[in-house]
Amino acid sequence: MPSHDSTLEEIKGRIDIVEMISDYVHLKKSGQNWKGLCPFHTEKTPSFMVSPAKQIFHCFGCGSGGDIFTFLTKYESLTFPEALSMLAKRAGVTLKVSQKSAVQAGEKETLLNMHKDAADFFRQSLTANGKAAAYLKDRGIDRKSLDDFGIGYSPKSWNGLLNHLSRKGYKPEMIKKSGLVVQGNKGQYDTFRDRIMFPIHDLKGDVVAFGGRSMDGSEPKYLNSPETPIFNKGRVLYGLALAKDSIKKNGNALFMEGYLDVIAAHMFGFTHAVAALGTALTPDHGRLIKRFVEDVIIVFDSDQAGIKASKRAAGVLLESGLEVNMLSVPENEDPDSFLRINGKEAFEELLKEPVSVIDFFVKHGGKKHIVADEVFEIVAKIPNEILQEDYITSLSEKIHVDEERVRERFKKKRKLLKSGHKRQQPEIKFRKPRQRPQNEIYFIQLLLQMSGRVDEISGKINLDDFEDPVLRGIFEKIVNGSHDFSDLLLKCEGEEKDILISISLRDELEEPEKVLSDCISWIKENKRKKLVKELQSKIREAESKNDLALLKKLQTEFQKLLK
C-alpha cells in the first residue's frame, strides 16, 4: 500500500513528535533528546525519552516506544484509524476516501461528532432563549467567554436534542451510548432539559461531555454526562484544553471548584485555571496536571464545605506528587464572586501570597492533635519520603510540638495507613529487559549510523552469525533493503520495534570503523565458539555410540574450525 505509507509519512513530516507529546507529558531537554516521566508506567525519575531527530519515543523503564501513531493509540486507547484521523486533522492532511470510511466506522469518532453537533445545538438554543441569555448576563459572563467555553442552553423539551440528532442521521443505539439521552419506559428522552450547558472538552479541545446547571434551583444543581467510551471523568479537567499553554507559561495551575469559577478566572486574565468535574477529584487528575507543570494552587470556596473540599483536594494532589499551595479567598466568598466584587488586582494580590498546606490545615483545624492527625493522613501519601520529612518538620514548628515527638507519631500512623493501603494498589512489576549481546546491538547501531554503506558492511556478517533472534530479525530486514530508519521502523513489530527504537536513541558511536571491526570479529568468534561447542557434544555422542565413520567426519570438521 504505497499510497497509505506516503500519507503516514506526510503526516509524520508535518507533526513534530516533541511538540505533540508535550501536550501529554512534561518534557525537559536532555542532550539531543527530551526527557520526562513515562505516562505508561509509574516512575519517579524520568526514563521516557523523545528524539526529535528520529521522531520517536522510548521508555527505558517499561520498554514502550514508537512514533506519533504508537503514542496516540496507546495513550488515548484509540484504534489505528482513529489515531490516523486525529493526527491527519492536526497535520492538515486530507485522508483519502477509503481511509476516511474506515475511520467513520469508529465509534469514538461518531460520539465525538455527535457531541460537537449537540454543542452547536445548545449554542443555538441559547440565542433563542431570552431567559437563559439573561441569566448568563446576570452572572456577568461576557460574549467572549460564552464563545471560548462554548456555553449553551438545553431547551425545556423532552426530545429537542434527540430529534435534532436523529435528523442528523445518528442511529438510536449510538445516541443512547452518548449519554445525551435517557432510556425511559416510553422510550428515549433528553438527559439535559432547561439547563445552562457547559461543554467539557478533552485535551485536544473536542467536546466529550456536558455539565448542565439548573437556573431555578431545581435539583440536582449540576448534572454531568455519564461516563461513555469518550468520557472518563477521572481523566478530564474542566478548562484544561484552554488553560494548558497558560499553565506551562505560568509554571503553575489554579485548581478551582466549579465551572463558573474557572470561567470567571479566565475572563479576568487568569487563564491557568481548571476545575475537577463535581467532587470526584482523583490522583489521576493530579497526574493529568503533572503533564504540564509541577505546582498547583488550590482556590476553593471559603465556606465550611469549601474548606473541607480544599483539604481533601490537597491530599489527593499531594499523592500525585505535585507541589501544592492553597489560597484563601476572604470569608464566605468563592473565587467567582471575589473576582467580580474585588477585581483583577485584588486577586493578583491574593495570588502573591498563597499559604502552605500545613498553614492551611493549622488555620482551619481544631486542636493540635487533630490537626496533626489530619496532616499525617495526607503526608503519608506523598510519594517522596524526603518531602514527607519536610512536611513533618514544618508541622512541628507550626503547632509548637517537639519535632521528634511529631515524627514518632507520624511513623506509627504511616505504618497503619500503609498496611491498609497495600491491598488496593498492587505494585506493577515490569519484565526486566533480556540481556542481549552487546556487540550485535553495536553492529545494528553502526548499520543505522552509516546507512550509506549498508551493502558493504552487511556483507561481512551472515544472518546465522547472529545469536539473538530479535536482533537477527532486524538485521534481516536491513539486508533485505530497509536501509532507511523510518522505513525499517514501519516493518518492525513488537520486540523488534522496541529494541530498534532503544538502539536508535543511543548516542552516536565514536570511531565507528574501529568499533565495526571489533564487532565483526567478536560476532564471528562467538559464532565459532558456539560451533566448537556443538561439535564437541556431537563428537562425545559419536564416541559413546562407537560410530567411527561419523567420528572421523566430525573430527575433520573440528580441525577446520580450529584453524
Binding site for Zn ion (CB under 5 A): 38, 40-41, 59, 61-62
Closest distance between Zn ion and the C-beta of residue 73, in Å? 16
Whether residue 37 contacts residue 25, with contact meaning beta carbons closer than 8 Å, is answered with: yes
Closest distance between Zn ion and the C-beta of residue 75, in Å? 12
Work out the angle between the directed axes of helices 107-128 and 160-167 (0-180°, nearest 10).
130
Which helix or strand (DSSP H or E) is residue 100 part of?
A: helix 97-104
Nearer residue to Zn ion within complex by CB, 62 or 378:
62
Nearer residue to Zn ion within complex by CB, 59 or 141:
59
- Distance, CA of 101 to CA of 95 (rounded, Å): 10
Residue type, 559: Q
Which helix or strand (DSSP H or E) is residue 413 part of?
A: helix 403-421
Q: Give, in order, the Cα–Cα distances in Å from 426 to each of 319, 423, 431.
A: 16, 6, 16
Closest distance between Zn ion and the C-beta of residue 40, in Å? 5
Closest distance between Zn ion and the C-beta of residue 42, in Å? 9
Closest distance between Zn ion and the C-beta of residue 39, in Å? 8
Query: Among all chains, which residue has been given the C-alpha cell 454531568?
Result: 224
Nearer residue to Zn ion within complex by CB, 40 or 268:
40
Nearer residue to Zn ion within complex by CB, 230 or 505:
505
Closest distance between Zn ion and the C-beta of residue 71, in Å? 12
Closest distance between Zn ion and the C-beta of residue 49, in Å? 10
Q: What is the largest CA-CA distance in the chain?
A: 105
Whether residue 306 contacts residue 331, with contact meaning beta carbons closer than 8 Å, is answered with: no
Whether residue 460 contacts residue 429, with contact meaning beta carbons closer than 8 Å, is answered with: no
Q: In the structure grid, which three cell numbers stand for residue 311, read together?
A: 483539604
Whether residue 442 contacts residue 519, with contact meaning beta carbons closer than 8 Å, is answered with: yes
Nearer residue to Zn ion within complex by CB, 67 or 465:
67
Nearer residue to Zn ion within complex by CB, 38 or 151:
38
Nearer residue to Zn ion within complex by CB, 72 or 112:
72
Residue type, 227: E
Determine phi and psi for 35, rounding to 5 degrees.
-130, 150
Give just the sign of the alpha carbon dihedral 510, 45, 288, 145.
Answer: negative
